[in-house]
Amino acid sequence: MKLSLRDKFPEMTVDTTKGQIHLPEDYHGKWFILFSHPADFTPVCTTEFVGFQKKKKEFDALGVELIGLSVDNLESHRQWIQWIKENIYVQIDFPVIDDEKRLVSETLGLIQPNADDTATVRAVIIVDHNGKVRTILEYPKEIGRSIDEILRTVKALKLASTKRFSPRQTGRIMRLSGIKFYSTEVKMMIRLWIRKEAFAACPTGSFIKI
């Protein structure tokens, strides 16, 4: 199975370092991010785990839970978490899924069909409060992820759920309603508002000089 945007996250029960979790039921009313790793103890995976933990308070402030996954068992996960604590002095507080049998990875389509091994890709799946998949990011296992970019994506998605806006490439927000701009560093023209959403946000269809 390969997930697509707006799909309902498949129901599953998983064993984690924080106990058994029912996905997405246990997170009903909350957003969560499931991020997969090729294996425990690898250098890139370790730095990413530490990076997610260091940004955890920012994710918490957004009401977003973190869930890690790799194709290793709970004992390996616990040893890895302990190693990180003893050597990098960071305590990993989010749950990590036991997926030694690859059941979760295969259900979510995290293992590439033509890969030369069964390690997962570096995937990020962002799921909203209704249990729907809002974003899927995939990276080859050789390349690390930008935690700041994932944070920016979550912020934009959550704003998009409540307000009409267009996210800029820099991550600063340009609202279609409210006519408020958070950056003046780049001069640009607003496109002709021919889409239904734009006209709904600004019925006059007027231009704005920035």
Contact call for residues 70 and 120 (beta carbons, < 8 A): yes
Q: Which of 3, 21, 33, 45 is catalytic?
A: 45
CA distance 10 to 69: 16
Q: Is the peptide bond before 24 cis (omega within 30 degrees of 0)?
A: yes
Longest dimension (CA), the chain: 61
Clarify whether 202 is annotated catalytic: no
CA distance 108 to 104: 6
CA distance 189 to 197: 18
CA distance 151 to 51: 12
Contacts (Cβ under 8 Å, ≥6 apart) of 84? 46, 49, 50, 90, 92
- Give the containing element (helix H, strand E) for 46: helix 43-54
- Active-site positions read 45
